[in-house]
Amino acid sequence: MAEHQAHAATHEHHEHKPHGWRRWVFATNHKDIGTMYLVLSGTMFFIGGLAAMGIRAELFSPGLQFFDPQFFNSLTTMHGLIMIFGAIMPAFVGLANWMIPMQVGAPDMALPRLNNFSFWILPFAFTLLMSSFFVPGGAPAGGWTMYPPLILQTGAAFPMLIFSVHLMGMSSILGAINIIVTIMNLRAPGMTLLRMPLFVWSWLITAYLLIAVMPVLAGAVTMLLTDHFFGTTFFTAAGGGDPVMFQHIFWFFGHPEVYIMILPAFGIVSEIIPTFSRKPLFGYESMVYAVASIAFLSFIVWAHHMFTVGMPLAGDLFFMFTTMLIAVPTGVKVFNWTATLWKGSISFETPMLFALAFLFLFTIGGFSGVMCAIVPADFQYQDSYFVVAHFHYVLVTGAAFAIMGAVYYWLPKWTGHMYNEKMGKFHFWMSTIWVNVLFFPQHFLGLAGMPRRIPDYPVQFTDLNMLSSIGGFMFGLSQLIFLWNVISCIRGGEKAPAKPWEGALGLEWTLPSPPPYHSFETPPTAVWEHPYQAD
Amino acid sequence: MTIRKTLARLALAAAAAVLTLPAQAEESGWAQLNLPRGVTDISRKIYALHMEVFWICVGIGVVVFGVMIWSLVAFRKSKGAVADTTMVHNTMVEIVWTIVPVIILIVMAVPAARTLIEIEDTTRTGLTVRVTGFQWGWQYEYLDDGVMYYSHLDRASDAARELGSPIDPNTVPYYLWNVDHPLVVPNGVKVRLLITGADVIHSWWVKDLGVKKDAIPGFINEAWFKIDDGWTGMLRGNCAELCGRDHGFMPIVVDVRSRADFDTWLKSTAAQERAAAAPAAPAATPATAPAATAPAAATAAASG
């Protein structure tokens, strides 16, 4: 113990805290890197959102008003890539950087320089990707799923797309390694695996998923690259290749990727709901097992994204049954959250509002997910707006809402200031109302027969598209409230105590707000009897 | 369109959604918000499955959301609720809410599997048509009868869909849902489609038939439908897989005729195609006569 303190003292002495631009470019501090991830994510969220506004503007009424169809396809493709790889994933990594060391009682991430590298890859990746708008042939327009042969028709943007995906994958793998090493090695004495906070647990499992599937994506896009430039025919039927094989490889990455984008959200919601219910999470262990089984199942359900490619009957049946099975652990999670609310003492601060909206709206996305698992019915839903509605319910009102809730939840800890609660609630209600106006009608559009990824539609679809577009514009505008609230909170505001939330549990709340440069210079020495309870 | 007109349309759409009861016939606004029952036995089975799963989800939703809302109302701190911090775990309850969903899923899976097995049975068909998707249209070949033609977006839609076109799409009949040469099929016959792609992947989707199948270069996918005896009319659908710039502009129209009308059409079309082919290319066989376009050449490669 004395040794620890002596070490800490010398460490403080040699802090070498860089200032100015060096603080960010040479950053090795988990909080600085976390902040950069979150800023990048926010920037990408607004750029990807701008693409979405363009899409909704073109779809406001029938006929083409603004864009050439090819440019429209670029917008949908880039919206998908930017939101998935640029907005959602970096947001979760940013939250992991900020919170995991503080939640496990560590001074920093285990591999600080690797951390710097894995962040600084990303601005280059996205600059490369987005500059493809300005090259001959325009930005990639073959969909974020990059199916060949169509994607091979991309112009000069093609290698830019492939290399930026490589870079994003590399960043994710390095980030995931860092997270696993940190969780495995830097936990406070006494914090066994089954006493870790659920956010840490969900990220541990997510990190393994990332390491498992990012190389698969890299392999798939590398094969595209050699097909395009070096005369291979992995995916070209005329040369003995198989375009469907790409889809199998892509979705073997793609389905775990879906859970990479939702498991940390489960972790966040599992932190927020108990805090504002003033009651420990119900069924902690079954929550952990549920996350683990969802992660396992994610590897054996991939072909449910491709029921219409003409798989053999046995394949269709296998993937239908495994997909339906996912509803079981997901149901367990929803029931556990509900049971946490039961007999609680509930208050409705902004983070809680977002977590509750997640609970309701993600469940709706889960219902449409079960519907999509029914193969004969999926023959009708596949590639229609029904599917667009489904995955936006899980990704926007699921993942993005959880991220917004997390930002409000931990913002006082990060900045040392309370955010404006009234403005936060206003942002919540605007977002929740308009996101439903935006996405709910899309279920009906899909059932009525509107395919996805089209810039123009038969006039029968006009009314619901207008409604959806109005919801889209208003949802987009509502996010400016969020931006304003976060910026004002960083710049000042009511002083936040170490534990601004009455019912909050976990080590991060034992540190002052804002926390010191090296979060825990000496590990908290606690005897752990339950998760979240050190005494 | 003026804002007032837009708002009026939105209000009408909302009213249609709220006021029209599900029981009221197919033609109502409500029917347009749902999957169609369609015109084949399979499409009606799919509709039934869709509704069954939908109502099960509604039922689960009522229970789960009911408990959530009840908790949010009953256990508010502002109403003096005190948390029961000992309530952290209950093995019995957890087993129940794992097993009950499994049972519900089995209830859904059995009829789904049964319908799927039926859909995959492509034996004993009476007519075979090869469907080839290309950028951007469809090619139909009646393999046993030497009839082959292309199907593109109709000219009226094509003129109205140009960027900045002065033509209001609302004035074009079946805007983006009309073609120059529809697929003609007889009712009461099990029609088999052999679906492939010439250049990139397309997907042939007609929701009233309950058929969506990808058209993949190098693969020949099978699908079938048997339209109700006595049903005639037009069915409309779209390409469902992103296939490039004009993906949104390659609709599918199926012209359903009686057996006798279809036979007459097939004979006369075959004769016409032979006549048209004869002076231009005497040596060519009727099926490949109007070649020299990319799709036909690619189809030959795909089938080889």
Task: Give the separation between CA B147 and CA A520, rounded to whole angstroms.
Answer: 78
- Which pLDDT tens digit goes with each residue over A89-143? 999 999 999 999 999 999 999 999 999 999 999 999 999 999 999 999 999 999 9
Task: Give the separation between CA B165 and CA A325, rounded to whole angstroms.
Answer: 50
Task: Give the separation between CA A398 and CA A262, rounded to whole angstroms.
Answer: 7
Reduce the secondary structure of A224-293 to three states and give it as a string.
HHHHHHCCCCCCCHHHCCCHHHHHHHHHHHHHHHHHHCCHHHHHHHHHHHHHHHCCCCCCHHHHHHHHHH
Nearest residue of B to residue A442, measured between CA atoms: B33
Chain B CB contacts of A67 under 8 Å are 163
Q: Which of B68, B97, B65 shows the shortest CA–CA distance to A346? A: B68
* Residue from A31, A255, A279, A390 carrying the catalytic annotation: A255
Q: Which of B199, B192, B196 shows the shortest CA–CA distance to B216? A: B196
Chain A CB contacts of B36 under 8 Å are 449
- Which pLDDT tens digit goes with each residue over B217-230? 999 999 999 999 99
* Residue from A58, A108, A227, A508 carrying the catalytic annotation: A108
Task: Test B68 with A328 for CB contact under 8 angstroms.
Answer: no
* Residue from A35, A77, A132, A172 carrying the catalytic annotation: A172
Distance from CA of A531 to the nearest CA of B (A): 11
**Local structure of residue A60 (DSSP, 8 states):** T
Task: Test B112 with A320 for CB contact under 8 angstroms.
Answer: yes
Q: Which of B117, B174, B216 to mutate to test the interface with A (most CBs of A within 10 A)?
A: B216
Q: Does A108 qualify as catalytic in the annotation? A: yes
Distance from CA of B265 to the nearest CA of A (A): 29
Q: Which residues of chain A have pLDDT under 50?
A: 1-13, 535
Chain B CB contacts of A532 under 8 Å are none
Quick one: residue A67, left, alpha or beta (phi over 0 = left, psi -120 to 50 = alpha)?
A: beta
Task: Give the separation between CA B210 and CA B47, rounded to whole angstroms.
Answer: 9
CA atoms within 13 A on the CB side of B10: 18
Task: Test A317 with B113 for CB contact under 8 angstroms.
Answer: yes
Task: Test A317 with B161 for CB contact under 8 angstroms.
Answer: no
A325 touching B (Cβ < 8 Å): yes
Q: Does A452 qualify as catalytic in the annotation? A: yes
Report yes or no: B250 and A182 within 8 Å, Cβ to Cβ: no
pLDDT at A296: 96
Task: Test B116 with A316 for CB contact under 8 angstroms.
Answer: yes
Q: Which of A370, A530, A532 to mutate to test the interface with B (most CBs of B within 10 A)?
A: A370
Q: Exposure string (b/e) for A161-174, b if CB count within 10 Å is 16 or more?
A: bbbbbbbbbbbbbb
Tokens of A469: 């577009």
The pLDDT mean for chain B works out to 85
pTM of the model: 0.90
Q: How far is CA A517 from CA A184, A404, A514, A521, B39, in A?
A: 22, 24, 9, 9, 69
pLDDT at A132: 96
pLDDT at A337: 96
pLDDT at B7: 53
pLDDT at B293: 42
Q: How far is CA A177 from CA A1, A112, A198, A295, B189, in A?
A: 29, 12, 19, 17, 60
ipTM of the complex: 0.91
pLDDT at B300: 39
Q: Does A298 qualify as catalytic in the annotation? A: no
Q: Does A495 qualify as catalytic in the annotation? A: no
pLDDT at B30: 60
| Alpha helices (H) in A132-242, listed in sequence order | 157-185, 198-229
pLDDT at B23 over 70: no
* Residue from A413, A452, A499, A518 carrying the catalytic annotation: A452
- Which pLDDT tens digit goes with each residue over B205-252? 999 999 999 999 999 999 999 999 999 999 999 999 999 999 999 999
- Which residues 298-317 in chain A show a CB within 8 A of chain B? 308-310, 313, 316-317
- Which pLDDT tens digit goes with each residue over B39-87? 999 999 999 999 999 999 999 999 999 999 999 999 999 999 898 888 8
Nearest residue of B to residue A344, measured between CA atoms: B83
The pLDDT mean for chain A works out to 94
Q: Which of A211, A202, A221, A201 shows the shortest CA–CA distance to A175? A: A211
Nearest residue of B to residue A69, measured between CA atoms: B245
- Which pLDDT tens digit goes with each residue over A470-495? 999 999 999 999 999 999 999 998 99
Task: Give the separation between CA B292 and CA B290, rounded to whole angstroms.
Answer: 7
Report yes or no: A437 and A474 within 8 Å, Cβ to Cβ: yes
Task: Give the separation between CA B133 and CA B212, rounded to whole angstroms.
Answer: 13
Tell me the torsion sign for CA atoms A337, A340, A343, A344: negative
Task: Give the separation between CA B122 and CA B173, rounded to whole angstroms.
Answer: 35
Nearest residue of B to residue A241, measured between CA atoms: B218
- Which of helix, strand or coil describes residue B138? strand
Size of interface A-B (CB pairs under 8 A): 294
Q: How far is CA A45 from CA A48, A212, A358, A396, in A?
A: 5, 26, 18, 11
Tokens of A139: 């930005």
- Which residues 14-53 in chain A show a CB within 8 A of chain B? none
